[in-house]
Amino acid sequence: MLYQAKTLNGFKLKGLDGEIGQVKNFFFDDKRWVVRYLIAETGNWLLSRQVLISPYALSKVDWDEQAIAVKLTKKQIEDSPSIDTERPVSQQFEIDYSEYYAYPYYWTGMNTWGDYPYMWGAYPYALPTPDQQKTLQSATHKWDAHLRSAQEVRGYHVHAADGEIGHIEDFIVDDENWSIKSLIIDTVNWWPGKKVLVSPRSIEQVSWENSIVVIQKTREEVKNSRPFNGDVNSQESHYPSSNS
């Protein structure tokens, strides 16, 4: 199912033994444009500590209840590696986090989730053989964290080949593998009243320092694309292709 990322903000997170807290934000991987963690605000039971929840731990999104089922206990979350969500996520934290929950490293393969395009192919995780462990260590040494806050990237200016077209309003996510299928671009200052979809694969470059995204399209090409009508699933067949 497809959904707008920010519609999940505020959803309750229901663990195996009670409510954990609420979704506050997301971290996504800017190399493959995949949601890697939900940022959860835990509330009073954990002194309002913020924790990261991997999509590996999620089982169901209940839209009627505005809740997400999480396959973890409160004790597991309480004992998990702590993090300051206001600072960049370190390589060592992700290693510690993956090893704590026995999740496979997502950065060691060519697919969305490491060696697999979907999470269910990679988890539950079998302990690696000594040879596999050497390969994992080698891949980890070459890897650098590229996690971005969805909340921070909303509002980035988007430029076509011949000028600015608008800003990122939100992301459309596919809950089959938590990949970002499209960026929703609000063109209010250039094409009033219109929003368009842009595939991450059409991005030519991103200036994270200047909050600018450049896409491989002209303004005319953007204007000739179908406007986004706000219903993410009814427009599924009209989403940009991998080359759009």
Spans of all domains in the chain: 2-148, 154-238
Whether residue 151 has pLDDT greater than 60 = yes
Percentage of residues in the chain having pLDDT higher than 90? 55
Query: Which residues, other chains included, contact 103 with Cβ-Cβ below 8 Å and sequence gap of 6+?
Result: 54, 56, 97, 123, 125
Which carries the bigger pLDDT value, residue 186 or residue 106? Answer: 186
Q: What is the pLDDT of residue 184?
A: 95
How many whole angstroms separate alpha carbon 6 and alpha carbon 26?
A: 9
Whether residue 27 has pLDDT greater than 70 = yes
Identical fold at 2-148 and 154-238? yes
Q: What is the pLDDT of residue 204?
A: 94
Q: Which fold has domain 154-238?
A: SH3 type barrels. (2.30.30)
- N-to-C CA span, the chain: 21
Q: What is the pLDDT of residue 118?
A: 83
Which run of H or of E encompasses 96?
helix 91-101
Q: Which fold has domain 2-148?
A: SH3 type barrels. (2.30.30)
Q: What is the pLDDT of residue 238?
A: 46
What burial class does residue 13 get, using C-beta atoms within 10 Å of its C-beta: 0-12 exposed, 13-18 middle, 19+ buried?
buried
Burial 97-136 (b: 16+ CB within 10 A, else e): bbeebebbbbbbeeebbbebeebeebbeeeeeeeeeeeeb
Condensed to tens digits (0 to 9), the pLDDT of residues 110-142 reads 888 888 888 776 665 555 556 656 665 665 555
Mean pLDDT of the chain: 85
Which carries the bigger pLDDT value, residue 79 or residue 240? Answer: 79
Whether residue 97 has pLDDT greater than 60 = yes
Q: Which residues pair with 63 in a beta bridge?
A: none
Condensed to tens digits (0 to 9), the pLDDT of residues 28-50 reads 998 899 999 999 999 888 876 88
Q: What is the mean pLDDT of residues 170-194?
A: 92
How many whole angstroms separate alpha carbon 88 and alpha carbon 149?
A: 9
Condensed to tens digits (0 to 9), the pLDDT of residues 66-75 reads 999 999 999 9
Which carries the bigger pLDDT value, residue 37 or residue 107? Answer: 37
How many whole angstroms separate alpha carbon 128 and alpha carbon 131?
A: 8
Which carries the bigger pLDDT value, residue 104 or residue 213? Answer: 213
Q: How confident is the model at residue 234 (pLDDT cuts 50, 70, 90)?
A: low
